[in-house]
Amino acid sequence: MHRRKFLGTMASVGAGVIAAPYVARAQVHNLLVAEPVHSTGYLPMYIAMANDYFAESKINVKIVTIESGGGHTSAVLSGQAFAFIGGPEHNAFAKAKGAELRAVVNCVDRGNVYYCAAKGNEPKDKDWASYFKGQRVAVSNYGGTPNSITRYLLAKWKLDPRKDVTLLEMPNSAVPAALKAKRGTIAVTTEPMITQGIRNGLWGEPFLSIPEELGPYAYSTINVRLDSIKTQPEVVLGFVRGMVKGLKFLYDDPEASAEIAKKQFPTMPLEDLSATLKRSFADEMWSKDGMITPQSWETGKTVVREAGILKTDVGYDEIIDMSFVKKAL
C-alpha cells in the first residue's frame, strides 16, 4: 500500500514537472504589420507596442515600412505579414480580384492628407479647378490613399489627371524632395512632413485639409486575411484589444503619448513633433474607440469609386468586421 502511494505521488510530481515547462513556454505569436509610411498617424499602434498591450495577449508585434501603392496589401495577401495598416479600400480592391481581407479595428478616422503649395505658388482663392489646372502635383504612388483622394478631387473639379495636371507619383517620403528640387508645385503630404516642410521653407501651412473637407473617413485601419479570422480568432482579438488600449491611452494621456512618439521619431526636432501632434489632435485624426462606422466607409468608398479606381460596389460587411472591437470594448 505504501509502494502504491509512493508511485502515485511520484506520478503526480512527474506530471507536474512535465506540465510546468509547457505553461512557462506559452506560445508567443510574432506578428509582422506592414505600414505604407512611418507616420505619427499610426501612433496608437506604436503606443500599444511600447506599453506592452499586445504582449498582454502573448503577441509580439514588429513593423515593416513598404512605400509602394499596394505593397503593404500584397505582403498580407502573400502571407509575409499578418496585417497591414491602410485604407479598407485595399480590401475592396483585393475582393474584386477574388481575395478576402477584413478591416478589424480603426486607427485614423480622418483623411490624413493635406495639400501644401510651393513657396510663391499659393492659391489666391478657393477656385480649385482653376488653381490646380497646369500644376505639378507630388503625390503618393497609384493605389495609395493620398493618390486616390487626389484623383477624386480632380474628378469632382472636372479635371483630367492625364491632361489637366501632372501627377508626380512617388513614395510618400519623397514628396518633400520633389518640391525642394522644384519638380513639383503642390505637395500632397501629411505630418510630420508638413511641419518639416514649413520649417525648411518648402511650403506654408496647408491650403486644403482633407480632415475638414471630408469629415469621418476610414483612412487607416488594421486589415487581416479572412483566413486569419477563421483560424486565429484569439490572436486577432488580442491584437485588436491592444489597439483599442492604445487609442484610449492616446486620448487619456497626450503627454505620455508624445514621449512615445519621440522614441519612434528620434531625429525629429521636438518643436516639429509638438506641432505635428497638435495638428492631429485638433483635426480629431484618430479614432477614439476603434470602431469603423458605415459612414466612414461610405466616404472612403465614394472617393475610390468616383476616382475610377474601384470599379464595383463593395458593401461594408464584405470588407469590415467589427466583432473583435465590440468584444474588446
* Each residue's pLDDT tens digit, 263-282: 999 988 888 899 889 999 99
Q: How far is CA 120 from CA 137, 195, 285, 288, in A?
A: 15, 18, 29, 38
Contact 112, 144 (CB under 8 A): no
Which CATH number describes the domain made up of 29-111+216-328?
Answer: 3.40.190.10
Q: Check for a shared fold between 29-111+216-328 and 114-214.
A: yes
Average pLDDT for 226-239: 98
DSSP label of 28: P
Q: What pTM value is reported for the model?
A: 0.83
Q: Alpha-carbon distance 238 to 286, whole Å?
A: 20
Pick the CATH number of 114-214 from 3.20.20.70, 2.60.120.10, 3.40.50.620, 3.40.190.10: 3.40.190.10
Q: Alpha-carbon distance 34 to 84, whole Å?
A: 4
The structural domains of the chain, with segments of one domain joined by +, span: 29-111+216-328, 114-214
pLDDT score for 25: 56
Say whether 178 sits in a helix, a strand or coil. helix
Phi, psi dihedral angles at 139 (to 5 degrees): -145, 165
Question: Tens of pLDDT along 32-51?
Answer: 999 988 889 999 999 999 99
Alpha helices in 103-253 (DSSP H): 128-132, 145-156, 175-180, 193-199, 210-214, 226-231, 233-252
Buried b (16+ CB within 10 A) or exposed e, 152-173: bbbeebebebeeebebbbbbbe
Question: Tens of pLDDT along 163-205?
Answer: 999 999 999 889 999 999 999 999 999 888 898 899 999 999 9
